[in-house]
Structure 1
Amino acid sequence: MNVISKENPDPVSLKEEIERLKQERDAIILAHNYQIPEVQDIADFIGDSLELARKAATLDNDVIVFCGVDFMAETAAILSPDKTVLLPAAEANCPMADMITAGELRVLKERFPDAAVVCYVNTTAEVKAESDICCTSSNAVKVVESLEEDRVIFVPDRNLGSYVARFTDKEILPWEGFCFVHDRITTLDVEEARRQHPDAEVLVHPECRAEVIDLADEVYSTSGMIKHVCTGPGKEYIIGTEIGILHRMKKDCPDKECYPLSPQAICTTMKKTDLSRVYNSLESLTPRIVVPEETADRARKAITRMLEVR
């Protein structure tokens, strides 16, 4: 067995030890598309929020190591209550998920009793427990259209809510939350990127502001972007989301050139996970994410209902 130096860990030794511990613990590593390259490279499965949720619901492994942010690991723990779910970077929170509380949502439900509640998967377990159904950026429109109600409380992302409103006749009541990474992308960023790469197609995430979406060629979730780039006829693409996705695009679509719409599109909490933390987490089986049973049972209904939407 290799000895890992905590002061200056060797990446090769870390990878070898992670592989050893995975076998020993019967563990699987899930990573979001925004994770750092080294973490993506040691993951067993990489995807967006919907893909990761679906994967977490079907795993047979005893241990799930979630390389992402807190709400993702919570979702995995809710879907697999008998599994040990680990979040290597315990402080990797999602700022947008913290922009609404269960108490605030209960007030909204009292104000609009005839409305269905759709919560973006980027929310806490407590908020999910107060919701009728969850959604992700890749299925938000389908989720809203699947509802019988004509009025929808949509939390917490105002930009995604605004995007969904373009494709439905339902009344969307959005909360004023936002993803700081996507919300700060501007029309000036789009104009500058097009100036530098005039032949490139602009793809943006639906968490972007409406005026940015209006200037884009296509709007996709992260996995939707990857599929479009890999299968599309174009050779150059400007990518309007967190820059971590560029690593996967380079691996999955090596014949395409992809440029960041904004080099400042960095989610600092997504970057908190590194190889050392993955190793330490597997070795100690901490930090473990556990959702209280009563909250998990209620939240599971909203998540499962989302997963049933096709």
Structure 2
Amino acid sequence: MVDEITRATAIRYQPALWEILPESGRQLVIKRVQQQAPIVIRQIIEELKNNLDTMFDLKDMIMSHLHKDVRLLNRIFLDVGYAEFRFIRRSGLVFGFVIGCVQAITWALTHNPWIMPIFGGFTGWFTDWLALKMIFVPQQPQKYVGLFTWQGLFQQRKQEVTADYARLIANEIVKPNHLIDALLRGPMSPRLHQRISHIVQQTIDEQTGIARPAVVIALGSRQYQQLKQDVSQHVLSKMPATLQHMEPYIAQKLDVEQTLIKAMNGLNEQQFEQLIRPAFQQDEWILIAVGAVLGFMVGEMQVLIMLHLAVS
């Protein structure tokens, strides 16, 4: 890209001088600019890494990809919360058994046909609701009945959840090609363009050094400023194609997974819950409703079985 930009800029602003230079002289100019290119690239990447939150909307990028790929959303949902779903299954056995004992006693005393389905529906609803609550609440360890201490499962597993969540997001969503596209075309891309333009123009000023007054006189102040803007625009126009070759470098330098882990480890309990819970909260009512409906149906089947046995 440097070769093309240098030649185009020289022909536009100093066509006569560029024409009389032998090719070896032109190559020296181009090589001089090429030597500065890695420095500029490092500056851009460091600027991006240190100010990622002002140039890049991670939430917008993640949400847009999850909306497009529901299977990925399900995978994150299940992989990150595998221990919590296991707890919901197992806790249902315990809570269901306790409520079932009350149900059995009530049925034995009343033989009311509504007892079974009502208790079944309540059991299905309550056990799922309570298990979901216990996944997130309380945020800090608390002692109950003076016998046992409990903390929301996600808070207990914060380190493990953070690692799993960061790994999935980094490997499946915030990949270099997705990142580049979001950076260059996302809602906060104008800020990145502005910073790149500033770095490029600053580099031009630094390279002219003590000769800058002479350069400004030779070109004119307005032309000199226009030259810097033209080079910046040329760099920005070539960014999408050029950055494809930088994907491994970007992945290495930004180290998205470790950056996410570091950021998530810095969250307090409330912020951590606000990050994790929305993915579950959206469909919590479905889980609770299905539990209630299935509990009601099982209770109704119990009534039919009990009545059938009574008739027999």
State the TM-score, normalized to the length of structure 1.
0.21
Higher share of residues assigned strand: 1
* Structure showing greater relative contact order (alpha-carbon pairs closer than 8 Å, 6 or more residues apart): 2
State the TM-score, normalized to the length of structure 2.
0.21
Larger radius of gyration: 2
Higher share of residues assigned helix: 2
